[in-house]
Amino acid sequence: GAGVSQSPSNKVTEKGKDVELRCDPISGHTALYWYRQSLGQGLEFLIYFQGNSAPDKSGLPSDRFSAERTGGSVSTLTIQRTQQEDSAVYLCASSLSRGGQETQYFGPGTRLLVL
Amino acid sequence: GQQLNQSPQSMFIQEGEDVSMNCTSSSIFNTWLWYKQEPGEGPVLLIALYKAGELTSNGRLTAQFGITRKDSFLNISASIPSDVGIYFCAGHRRTSGTYKYIFGTGTRLKVLA
Protein backbone atom coordinates (compact mmCIF):
# COMPACT_ATOMS: atom_id res chain seq x y z
CA GLY A 1 0.00 0.00 0.00
CA ALA A 2 0.88 3.63 -0.22
CA GLY A 3 1.00 4.30 3.51
CA VAL A 4 1.79 2.66 6.82
CA SER A 5 -0.84 0.11 7.80
CA GLN A 6 -1.54 -1.37 11.21
CA SER A 7 -3.68 -4.23 12.41
CA PRO A 8 -5.92 -4.77 14.18
CA SER A 9 -7.42 -1.30 14.28
CA ASN A 10 -9.04 -2.09 17.63
CA LYS A 11 -8.29 -4.76 20.22
CA VAL A 12 -10.14 -5.53 23.43
CA THR A 13 -8.51 -8.05 25.72
CA GLU A 14 -8.69 -9.29 29.26
CA LYS A 15 -6.08 -8.46 31.84
CA GLY A 16 -3.32 -11.05 31.82
CA LYS A 17 -3.68 -12.04 28.17
CA ASP A 18 -0.97 -11.51 25.55
CA VAL A 19 -1.56 -9.32 22.49
CA GLU A 20 0.25 -8.88 19.19
CA LEU A 21 0.06 -5.70 17.16
CA ARG A 22 1.24 -5.58 13.56
CA CYS A 23 2.76 -2.82 11.47
CA ASP A 24 3.40 -2.80 7.72
CA PRO A 25 5.70 0.14 6.91
CA ILE A 26 5.91 2.02 3.65
CA SER A 27 7.81 -0.07 1.15
CA GLY A 28 11.50 0.82 1.09
CA HIS A 29 11.50 2.69 4.39
CA THR A 30 14.46 1.53 6.43
CA ALA A 31 13.44 2.90 9.81
CA LEU A 32 10.41 1.84 11.85
CA TYR A 33 9.19 3.28 15.14
CA TRP A 34 6.59 2.25 17.70
CA TYR A 35 4.92 4.84 19.93
CA ARG A 36 2.23 4.74 22.59
CA GLN A 37 -0.36 7.48 23.02
CA SER A 38 -2.57 7.50 26.07
CA LEU A 39 -5.92 9.31 25.96
CA GLY A 40 -5.41 13.02 25.39
CA GLN A 41 -1.64 12.74 25.68
CA GLY A 42 1.37 13.13 23.42
CA LEU A 43 3.42 10.37 21.86
CA GLU A 44 5.66 8.17 23.98
CA PHE A 45 8.56 6.53 22.14
CA LEU A 46 8.77 2.76 22.60
CA ILE A 47 11.25 1.20 20.16
CA TYR A 48 13.12 2.00 16.94
CA PHE A 49 14.42 -0.28 14.18
CA GLN A 50 16.93 0.91 11.56
CA GLY A 51 17.95 -1.49 8.83
CA ASN A 52 19.92 -4.42 10.20
CA SER A 53 21.16 -2.56 13.26
CA ALA A 54 20.24 -3.61 16.78
CA PRO A 55 16.95 -1.94 17.74
CA ASP A 56 16.81 0.93 20.22
CA LYS A 57 14.58 -0.50 22.94
CA SER A 58 15.15 2.32 25.41
CA GLY A 59 11.49 3.37 25.45
CA LEU A 60 9.91 0.02 26.29
CA PRO A 61 8.16 0.50 29.67
CA SER A 62 8.71 -3.03 31.00
CA ASP A 63 9.97 -6.46 30.03
CA ARG A 64 6.39 -7.41 29.15
CA PHE A 65 6.85 -5.38 25.97
CA SER A 66 8.87 -6.68 23.03
CA ALA A 67 9.02 -6.08 19.30
CA GLU A 68 10.43 -7.77 16.24
CA ARG A 69 11.00 -6.66 12.70
CA THR A 70 11.27 -9.51 10.24
CA GLY A 71 13.08 -9.16 6.94
CA GLY A 72 13.49 -5.45 7.44
CA SER A 73 9.81 -4.88 6.77
CA VAL A 74 6.82 -5.97 8.89
CA SER A 75 7.04 -5.42 12.64
CA THR A 76 5.14 -6.99 15.52
CA LEU A 77 4.79 -5.41 18.96
CA THR A 78 3.94 -7.97 21.64
CA ILE A 79 2.60 -7.16 25.07
CA GLN A 80 2.60 -10.07 27.49
CA ARG A 81 0.36 -10.39 30.53
CA THR A 82 -1.48 -7.18 29.67
CA GLN A 83 -2.41 -4.74 32.41
CA GLN A 84 -5.14 -2.11 32.43
CA GLU A 85 -2.54 0.67 32.25
CA ASP A 86 -1.45 -0.75 28.88
CA SER A 87 -4.70 0.59 27.38
CA ALA A 88 -3.70 3.18 24.80
CA VAL A 89 -3.32 3.79 21.08
CA TYR A 90 -0.20 2.13 19.70
CA LEU A 91 1.16 3.97 16.69
CA CYS A 92 3.70 2.75 14.18
CA ALA A 93 5.69 5.04 11.91
CA SER A 94 8.25 4.48 9.19
CA SER A 95 10.78 6.82 7.70
CA LEU A 96 13.30 7.13 4.92
CA SER A 97 16.32 9.35 5.07
CA ARG A 98 17.18 11.03 1.76
CA GLY A 99 20.32 13.12 1.70
CA GLY A 100 20.05 13.75 5.40
CA GLN A 101 16.40 14.76 5.13
CA GLU A 102 14.34 12.52 7.37
CA THR A 103 10.55 12.35 7.20
CA GLN A 104 8.38 10.12 9.35
CA TYR A 105 4.92 8.83 8.37
CA PHE A 106 2.41 7.33 10.78
CA GLY A 107 -0.08 4.51 10.52
CA PRO A 108 -3.65 4.85 11.81
CA GLY A 109 -2.85 3.12 15.10
CA THR A 110 -4.20 0.17 17.07
CA ARG A 111 -6.54 1.07 19.91
CA LEU A 112 -5.95 -1.37 22.76
CA LEU A 113 -8.37 -1.71 25.65
CA VAL A 114 -7.45 -4.00 28.52
CA LEU A 115 -10.42 -4.91 30.69
CA GLY B 1 9.74 10.21 28.21
CA GLN B 2 11.20 13.49 27.01
CA GLN B 3 8.81 15.93 25.33
CA LEU B 4 9.18 19.34 23.77
CA ASN B 5 7.53 22.44 25.22
CA GLN B 6 4.62 23.26 22.94
CA SER B 7 2.28 26.20 23.38
CA PRO B 8 -0.47 27.01 23.65
CA GLN B 9 -1.96 23.78 25.01
CA SER B 10 -5.33 24.61 23.50
CA MET B 11 -6.98 27.32 21.43
CA PHE B 12 -10.58 28.24 20.72
CA ILE B 13 -10.81 30.59 17.77
CA GLN B 14 -13.39 31.98 15.38
CA GLU B 15 -13.47 30.81 11.79
CA GLY B 16 -11.33 33.09 9.66
CA GLU B 17 -8.84 33.96 12.38
CA ASP B 18 -5.12 33.21 12.13
CA VAL B 19 -3.48 30.76 14.52
CA SER B 20 0.07 30.55 15.78
CA MET B 21 1.69 27.82 17.87
CA ASN B 22 5.30 27.05 18.73
CA CYS B 23 7.68 24.51 20.15
CA THR B 24 10.86 25.08 22.09
CA SER B 25 13.63 22.81 23.23
CA SER B 26 16.79 23.01 25.28
CA SER B 27 18.50 20.84 22.66
CA ILE B 28 19.38 21.37 19.02
CA PHE B 29 17.50 19.47 16.33
CA ASN B 30 18.39 18.73 12.72
CA THR B 31 14.78 18.44 11.57
CA TRP B 32 11.47 19.84 12.70
CA LEU B 33 8.20 18.24 11.66
CA TRP B 34 4.63 19.39 12.21
CA TYR B 35 1.72 16.92 12.38
CA LYS B 36 -2.05 17.14 12.70
CA GLN B 37 -4.03 14.42 14.43
CA GLU B 38 -7.79 14.06 14.23
CA PRO B 39 -9.85 11.89 16.59
CA GLY B 40 -9.36 8.19 15.95
CA GLU B 41 -6.59 8.74 13.42
CA GLY B 42 -2.81 8.65 13.35
CA PRO B 43 -0.82 11.89 13.02
CA VAL B 44 -0.59 13.23 9.47
CA LEU B 45 2.54 15.07 8.36
CA LEU B 46 1.89 18.72 7.46
CA ILE B 47 5.30 20.32 7.01
CA ALA B 48 8.93 19.20 7.30
CA LEU B 49 11.81 21.63 7.95
CA TYR B 50 15.47 20.72 7.47
CA LYS B 51 17.52 23.93 7.73
CA ALA B 52 17.88 26.58 10.39
CA GLY B 53 15.93 29.64 9.32
CA GLU B 54 13.91 27.72 6.73
CA LEU B 55 10.40 29.02 6.15
CA THR B 56 8.04 26.62 4.38
CA SER B 57 4.40 26.91 3.37
CA ASN B 58 1.76 24.31 2.61
CA GLY B 59 -1.44 26.05 1.55
CA ARG B 60 -2.66 28.09 4.51
CA LEU B 61 0.04 26.63 6.76
CA THR B 62 3.46 28.20 7.26
CA ALA B 63 6.21 26.84 9.49
CA GLN B 64 9.69 28.03 10.35
CA PHE B 65 12.81 26.31 11.67
CA GLY B 66 14.31 28.63 14.29
CA ILE B 67 17.76 30.10 13.73
CA THR B 68 19.03 28.61 16.98
CA ARG B 69 17.71 25.17 15.88
CA LYS B 70 15.95 24.94 19.24
CA ASP B 71 12.52 26.13 18.22
CA SER B 72 9.89 26.13 15.50
CA PHE B 73 6.52 27.72 14.91
CA LEU B 74 3.45 26.86 12.86
CA ASN B 75 0.96 29.43 11.59
CA ILE B 76 -2.46 28.69 10.13
CA SER B 77 -4.07 31.55 8.25
CA ALA B 78 -7.80 32.10 7.77
CA SER B 79 -8.82 29.08 9.84
CA ILE B 80 -11.75 26.91 8.78
CA PRO B 81 -13.77 24.34 10.76
CA SER B 82 -11.84 21.38 9.32
CA ASP B 83 -8.64 22.72 10.92
CA VAL B 84 -9.92 21.26 14.19
CA GLY B 85 -7.55 18.71 15.67
CA ILE B 86 -4.40 18.33 17.72
CA TYR B 87 -1.20 19.72 16.26
CA PHE B 88 2.12 18.17 17.28
CA CYS B 89 5.64 19.32 16.63
CA ALA B 90 8.49 16.83 16.49
CA GLY B 91 12.23 17.40 16.57
CA HIS B 92 14.63 14.89 15.13
CA ARG B 93 18.28 14.37 15.98
CA ARG B 94 20.90 11.71 16.36
CA THR B 95 21.30 10.67 20.00
CA SER B 96 23.79 8.14 21.30
CA GLY B 97 24.16 6.50 17.92
CA THR B 98 20.47 6.30 17.08
CA TYR B 99 17.97 8.68 15.56
CA LYS B 100 15.05 9.76 17.68
CA TYR B 101 12.01 11.93 17.34
CA ILE B 102 10.97 13.98 20.33
CA PHE B 103 7.35 15.15 20.27
CA GLY B 104 5.65 18.20 21.65
CA THR B 105 2.75 17.90 24.05
CA GLY B 106 0.28 19.03 21.39
CA THR B 107 -1.93 22.05 20.74
CA ARG B 108 -5.65 21.33 20.67
CA LEU B 109 -7.35 23.61 18.17
CA LYS B 110 -11.10 24.23 18.06
CA VAL B 111 -12.60 26.49 15.40
CA LEU B 112 -15.98 28.05 16.01
CA ALA B 113 -18.02 28.64 12.87
Pick from A103, A24, A20: nearest CA to A67 = A20
**Cβ neighbour number for residue B62 with a 10 Å cutoff:** 17
Pick from A10, A24, A15: nearest CA to A79 = A15
Q: Do A48 and B35 touch (CB under 8 A)?
A: no
Among B40, B99, B103, whose Cβ lies nearest the Cβ of A43?
Answer: B103
Q: How far is CA B87 from the centre of its chain?
A: 6
CA dist A27 and A13 (Å) reads 31
Q: Which string of b and e fits B71-105 if b means at least 16 CB within 10 Å?
A: bbbbebeebeeebebbbbbbbbbeeeeebbbbbbb
User: Does the structure show a pLDDT above 80 at B2?
Assistant: no
Sequence letter at residue B43 = P
Once rounded to an integer, what is the mean pLDDT over residues A26-40? 90
Residues B24-39 have pLDDT tens digits of 999 899 899 999 999 8
Following DSSP, what letter does each residue of A9-77 receive, concatenated?
Answer: SEEEE-TT--EEEEEEPPTT--EEEEEEE-TT--EEEEEEEETTSPPB-TT--STTEEEEEGGGS-EEE
Q: Do A104 and B90 touch (CB under 8 A)?
A: yes
Least confident of A66-70, A92-96, A108-112, B93-97: B93-97
3-state class percentages of chain B: helix first, strand second, coil last, to nearest 5: 5, 60, 40
Please indicate if any CB of chain A lies within 8 Å of the CB of B50.
yes
Least confident of A68-72, B6-10, B46-50: A68-72
Helix (H) or strand (E) holding A97: strand A88-98
Q: Do B42 and A4 touch (CB under 8 A)?
A: yes
Once rounded to an integer, what is the mean pLDDT over residues B82-105? 84
